[in-house]
Amino acid sequence: MTSSYKIAVIGGTGKSGSYLIQELFSNNFQVKALVRNLQKINQIPAGVEIVLGDVTDIDAVRRLLKGCTHVVSMLGMGTPPSEPTIFAQSTQYILDTMQQEGILRYIVTTGLNVDTPSDQKSMQTKFGTQWMKQNFPISTANKQAEYDLLVSSVADWTLIRLPLIELTNVNVPVNTDLKDCTGNKISAKSLAKFVVMQLFSKEFSGQAPFVFNQD
């Protein structure tokens, strides 16, 4: 039986996003995906409702979220690359539209380089954070701005901070930590299952956990 819940997915044609769509389908959710690259439409499984457009277009975001109950963004830089300021901009559009549509739950994935007040990052995590700030200063600052937008919003949000994502169907148990990332990787399958579990969980509501597979 198909669930009455409809999940809006951003980044569903990305490498890890495709695993999420498959996981949602296997759990009988209705899925609505935003697709900006026409060449990637054939990557979307039959049965997914497709909305053509870009997440930086507020009208496309409104079309995507119309009739949905939850929103998940697994937005990356994309191919071809998106603007490095896409993260905060898209989240602002999503938060505004969620209020208009009465949608409460928003789950977002990001890198381990985002900082929160409760962090106690190890030297390894601090090194990774600093490396991103030095080599990708605009996108790193924009992801931090995205976190700030979430904190100041009224939405029921969870920001999932991630190490390297391995594109594998191996389902390994995940570890979570609100202060530090003590694992170097996470499988795309494990991540997809964790995201689906969080759709109806309050465990990390309003928080930004590190999520990883233990080495």
Strand order in the sheet with 6-10: 49-52, 30-35, 6-10, 70-73, 105-111, 156-162, 210-212, 175-177
Write the pLDDT tens digit of every residue in 153-198: 999 999 999 999 999 998 899 999 999 999 999 999 999 999 999 9
Q: Match 């039959």 to its residue by tokens.
A: 46
List the beta bridge partners of residue 87. none
Identify the CATH assignment for 6-212 out of 3.30.565.10, 3.40.190.10, 3.40.30.10, 3.40.50.720.
Answer: 3.40.50.720
pLDDT in tens, 43-79: 778 889 999 999 999 999 999 999 999 999 999 765 5
pLDDT at site 46: 82
- Residues 95-149 have pLDDT tens digits of 999 999 999 999 999 999 999 999 999 999 999 999 999 999 999 999 999 999 9
Q: Cβ(29)–Cβ(9) under 8 Å?
A: no
Q: Which of the four pLDDT bands, split at 50, 70 and 90, describes residue 41?
A: confident
Domain-wise residue ranges, the chain: 6-212
* Gap between the Cα atoms of 50 and 201, Å rounded: 26
Question: Model pTM greater than 0.85?
Answer: yes
